[in-house]
Structure 1
Amino acid sequence: MKHDGKDGIFRAIVADGKIVGNISVEQKSDVYCKDGEIGYLLLTDCWAKGIMTEAVRQICATVFLELYIIRITGLVYAPNVASQRVLEKNSFIREGTQKSAVYKNGQIYDLFLYAKLK
């Protein structure tokens, strides 16, 4: 909580009165200080209901109002098509691919770089 509103925005995601996930944008430092990285997690029971798309919309609006940043970056594993769609529905643009950048559950994946400008 001590960082909220200073170098990041951190929120619980609530649906039907229950916490079903979380979302944050953390401002980077040094020469990257005008950029923030978005991260989010949603319980699987809540997938495909538009909850995360709306949470991303809301946090982006808040971040651009409250933090001194001009860009939000999102990193998504290549197989995570649902997360890619969430960002794309919120006007994030895929800027590039980091080949073989992620090792998860015994597999190597490409990592897509998305960004949304203020």
Structure 2
Amino acid sequence: MNFFLRKWQAGDEPSLAENANNYRIWRNLKDIFPHPYTITDAFEWVKLARKTAENLAIVVENKAVGGIGILLKDDIYCRNAEIGYWLGEPYWNKGIMSAAIEEVTGFTFANYPIHRIYAGVFEYNTGSMRALQKAGYQKEAVLRHALFKEGQLYDEHIFARYRP
């Protein structure tokens, strides 16, 4: 399925809210990602994300159906970046996310002095693990009971890719 990445823009809010308002997406993300995801949340996110080059919309058929971004670390972690992403459920299992991860990874290494990009994944999110592996990431560690979501502890699987 064809997609492209671009900066978030005004007009993305309805599609963003429609695709992000999904329990199956929310359960794989940090709690800062709201659920339910409202149109107000979408307007707030687009306003914030438009100010940075590190957060991009995943666009299919001219609709923002997901997001991907990097969080540049600081202090002694200044050569690291965390990659985060989500995609509307109708677009799962179509190769979009692994290709988007690959594109953002290449962009990050080309434009920032980053040596390592990593992602933390809930133990049950095998789709995300597969997408990372297809994009050249390797599992580095399993942090036992590191994540707390919906009143339960979960293992966090850490995947990383290094500057070529």
Normalising by the residue count of structure 1, what TM-score does the alignment of the two structures yield?
A: 0.92
Select which of 68, 84, 89 maps to 2:134.
89
Structure 1 residue aligned with 2:79: 34
Cα deviations by residue, 1:13-68 (Å, 9 ceiling, x for unpaired): 00121100000011100000000000001111111111111110110111011111
Deviates more, 1:105-114 or 1:34-43: 105-114
Normalised by the size of structure 2, how large is the TM-score?
Answer: 0.67
Q: For residue 2 of structure 1, report the CA deviation from its aligned partner.
A: 3.9
Counting matched residue pairs gives 114
Higher strand share: 1
Q: Which has the larger radius of gyration?
A: 2
* Aligned mates of 2:101, 2:118 — CA distance in 1: 12
CA distance in 2, matches of 1:74, 1:112: 8
One-letter code of the match for 1:28? Answer: K
Aligned residue for 2:113, secondary structure, equals coil
* C-alpha distance in structure 2 between counterparts of 1:23 and 1:45, whole Å: 17
Q: Counterparts of 1:1-118 in structure 2 under 5 Å?
A: 1-4=50-53, 9-118=54-163
1:56-111 alpha-carbon deviations (Å, 9 max, x no partner): 01101110111110110110011000000010111111111110111212322100
Q: Secondary structure at the match of 2:102?
A: helix
Matches of 2:91 and 2:152, distance apart in 1:
26
Question: Which shows bigger deviation, 99-108 or 35-44?
Answer: 99-108
Which structure is higher in helix share? 2
Q: State how far apart, in whole Å, the 2-side matches of 1:27 and 1:51 are.
A: 23
* CA-atom RMSD in angstroms: 1.1
Runs of 4+ aligned structure 1 residues displaced above 4 Å come to none
